[in-house]
């Protein structure tokens, strides 16, 4: 597989995890605007990662791992509650 493609996938996965950690910190301070910004970033990165994986020539094992990552983090995205 293309090395640039692997790096792009890994970068997106790391950014998603980082933004989820930020949301946890923001909920401690009830920072709704920052939570919304992080949610938008996560949503965008998940969609982009999904598009890359669907059209990428990657092996079956990595494809399964990335799809599992997407499933878990889409579920996380749906479960996050914004404080009112």
* Among the listed residues 57, 72, 48, the one whose alpha carbon sits nearest the alpha carbon of residue 5: 57
pLDDT in tens, 18-63: 999 999 898 888 889 999 999 999 999 999 999 988 877 888 888 8
pLDDT in tens, 6-18: 899 999 999 999 9
Whether the CB-CB separation of 36 and 82 falls below 8 Å is answered with: yes
Give ∠ CA 28-30-36 in degrees, rounded to 5: 110
> What CA–CA distance (Å, rounded) separates 74 from 25?
19
Fold assignment, 3-79: Methane Monooxygenase Hydroxylase; Chain G, domain 1 (1.20.58)
Q: pTM of the prediction?
A: 0.87
Which are the contacts of 32, defined by CB distance < 8 A and separation ≥ 6?
82, 83
Domain boundaries, given as residue ranges, for the chain: 3-79
């Amino acid at each position: 597989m293309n090395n640039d493609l692997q790096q792009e996938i890994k970068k997106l996965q790391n950014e998603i995890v980082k933004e989820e950690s930020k949301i946890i910190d923001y909920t401690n301070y009830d920072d709704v605007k920052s939570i919304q910004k992080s949610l938008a970033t996560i949503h965008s990165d998940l969609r982009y990662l999904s598009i890359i994986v669907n059209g990428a020539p990657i092996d079956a094992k990595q494809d399964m791992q990335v799809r599992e990552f997407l499933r878990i983090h889409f579920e996380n995205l749906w479960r996050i509650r914004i404080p009112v």
